A and B are shown apart, each in its own frame.
Chain A
Amino acid sequence: MLVFAASDKGGTGRSVTSANLAYHRALAGDDVCYLDFDFGSPTAAAVFDVPDARQAAEDRGLHSYLIGEAAEPARIDVWSDTEHRVLRTRPPGSGRLVLMPGDVSGGEFATTDDNLRRCVDLLLRLNSEFDLIIVDLSAGRSYAVDMVLEATSLREMSGVEARWLVFHRWTRQHVAAAASLVFGKRGIVAGGVARGHDEEALRNVIRFVRAAVPDPESALWSQVSPTQSAWMRECDRDLKQLASTQGIGYSLVLGSVPLEPVLQWREQLITDEDVLDSQIANRETWDALSELAGRLTDDKFWEQP
């Protein structure tokens, strides 16, 4: 299955969250491939802590492959190449975790027939090899978004299941922007329909992920004053109302990831050691990521709302 990770703006935690989802699925035994299609600013190498990826991505990254300069994009085996102390020990029963880095110097580019064909070839090939392929797309209505919308509209790809995750932060601007990225005049749905996607079918494979959501009930905020607490609850309620009127209400949300300092500051994978031993990350975050990872392929969460 293909999962496209999109976001309205930068800084939504799209890359770090989707990388964590890839990690959770691999832990559960799936063979997972993570593609860094964030051509403007590839970050996956840092998230997975694989310095080698920078080297490999110098001239053999996804960008070079798509524009025809590299015969095959570089692959990084995260379990064996990471410098992360915990990740280096591949847990028994886990699946493969492969990163395809973007190019360090790669910018955006137009979708030509050749680029598109190479994109389709790559996705088809990975689909026959991996249980789950997570494609991290650049923020906004980028070329990367256009390219995969175009690719998935083609007959060759019709047998490959694809789903979309749209990440947004839990703020007024982000909620509105996420809704417009998907349902706006120049949004993903409109862009998909223009390329021959069936509107209803496309809508049914798009779900939202609320990132960096402060939970007023969490222990993190238990020390705040009653006024603050009441205000937080009110904001949260207003945001829920706003999301619902914008058409991205509860039924379209696949999950939420709590506000988590480790995700915000370190931008890395959260391991069970971070939660259990050093306890720098919150248990809730681990659970939320784990739940989200499970829901990716749980059809119950992808039924028509």
Chain B
Amino acid sequence: MRVLALSAPLVLACGEVRTCLLPSFQALDGRAAAQLLRLRADELVRVSERPNLYALSPDVLTGVDCRLPTSNGTKVRAVGTVAARAALTEGRVLQATAYFSAPAGGPDTRRPWGHYLVRPGLVEPFGKLPEQATAEGVLRGGGRGELDLGMISEGLLAQLLRHPLLDHKAPFKSRRTHLRWAARRAPEGEGPSLERFTLAENGLRTVSLRLPENTPAAAAAGLCEDLALHDWLLTTVVHMLDNSRLGAADGPSAVLALRPAVDHLLHLWMPRAHVDHTLGHLWDVLEREPGFTRQWQTLVQRIRDQLAVQAVPLLHKALSTR
């Protein structure tokens, strides 16, 4: 996307990603995915098939003129556009992101809309931007009358879910997650870093980042979509294992409860597959602590062991009746 040279450098980028299972009986192929994500007639959906099937919609813009959420109650009015986009991974997991970036300050008056329209995804504050308070405010979530990224991403997601391609016969029930992120500018000369990843109640996750000045907000959005996707996979499979009552329920029913994981989820794990190469290493932090892939492998192993254990008696039976 073309972004005009700006007088004020960008100091903050924020977004919210909502992640859910695509409510369709079958996973969509690349062509159907492109059809679903065709949010604009003038821009194509990007579909890549390696290393996995991944489709990314063009950005759509929402004009905003409202207060920014701040953690300390500072009232900052801001005007501009919030970008929103959707991604579909392996035709199975749907994500909608709303994000914007903001400069350190702006004029005290509203400019003609033309000014904002040529700066897609940019929201300009009136006066000085309280960076930290705004970042914290976004992570906490917007109140009434404040910029609400969740509402914009939810609106996009709801619009997609009404698409005629979807039959709403998902193979299993699952919860959505929403991940809010805020990226402040890294100190001069320092690379990108992931400061904090937290799991809150009700499927809410927050991520704090530090990014160098030249990192585009879309790249940060891509990283956070990747984090959200894998966090959703972990959350969903853990829930499925909890519900299967392994050990308590008798064998076949537990296996039946785990079957959707095998059919639809286990092959989706692929961190960094579509993350901007300058940000891919931020995954390392999460791999060390808490160890996303480590937990995933344990879950996968547990499911496979269960299937194997259930298969043994069947094999035994088959051999003895010969």
Residue positions of A touching B, CB distance < 8 A: 29, 31, 71-72, 75, 92-93, 95, 120-121, 124-125, 127-131, 155-157, 159-160
A156 with B162, Cβ < 8 A, contacts A71-B151, A71-B154, A75-B202 known:
yes
Q: 8 Å CB contacts to A: which residues of B168-217?
A: 168-170, 173-176, 202
B245 close to chain A: CB less than 8 A:
yes
Whether B20 contacts A121 by the Cβ 8 Å rule is no
Whether B168 contacts A120 by the Cβ 8 Å rule is no
Can you offer 6 A-B residue contacts whose CB atoms are under 8 A?
A31-B173, A121-B158, A124-B168, A128-B170, A130-B173, A159-B168
Q: 8 Å CB contacts to A: which residues of B130-180?
A: 148, 150-151, 154, 158, 161-162, 164, 166-170, 173-176
Whether A124 contacts B161 by the Cβ 8 Å rule is yes
Closest to B249 in A: A93
Tell me, rounded to whole Å, the shortest Cβ–Cβ distance linking B72 to chain A: 23
Q: What residues of chain A lie closer than 8 Å to B162, measured between beta carbons? A: 120-121, 124, 156
**Chain A binding surface, main DSSP class:** loop
B23 close to chain A: CB less than 8 A:
yes
Q: Give the 4 A-B CB pairs with smallest separation, nearest first.
A: A159-B168, A121-B158, A71-B151, A159-B167
Whether A159 contacts B151 by the Cβ 8 Å rule is no
B74 close to chain A: CB less than 8 A:
no
Whether A29 contacts B175 by the Cβ 8 Å rule is no
Bound complex: CA of A72 vs CA of B167, how far in Å?
24
Number of interface residues, chain B, beta carbon within 8 A: 24
Residue positions of B touching A, CB distance < 8 A: 20-21, 23, 148, 150-151, 154, 158, 161-162, 164, 166-170, 173-176, 202, 243, 245, 248
Q: What residues of chain A lie closer than 8 Å to B170, measured between beta carbons? A: 128
Tell which of B151, B174, B245, B248 touches A129, judged by Cβ atoms closer than 8 Å.
B174
Tell which of A129, A156, A159 touches B175, judged by Cβ atoms closer than 8 Å.
A129
Tell me, rounded to whole Å, the shortest Cβ–Cβ distance linking A55 to chain B: 15
Whether B21 contacts A128 by the Cβ 8 Å rule is yes
Tell which of B21, B158, B164, B169 touches A155, judged by Cβ atoms closer than 8 Å.
B164
Closest to A95 in B: B243
Q: What residues of chain B lie closer than 8 Å to A93, measured between beta carbons? A: 245, 248
Whether A128 contacts B20 by the Cβ 8 Å rule is yes
Q: What residues of chain B lie closer than 8 Å to A160, measured between beta carbons? A: 168
Tell which of B23, B154, B173, B248 touches A124, judged by Cβ atoms closer than 8 Å.
B23
Whether A129 contacts B173 by the Cβ 8 Å rule is yes
12 extra A-B contacts, CB within 8 A, seeds A71-B150, A128-B20, A129-B173? A31-B173, A124-B23, A125-B176, A127-B23, A127-B168, A128-B168, A128-B173, A128-B174, A129-B175, A131-B173, A155-B164, A159-B166
Closest to B164 in A: A155
Among B167, B170, B173, B248, which residue has the most Cβ atoms of chain A within 10 A?
Answer: B173
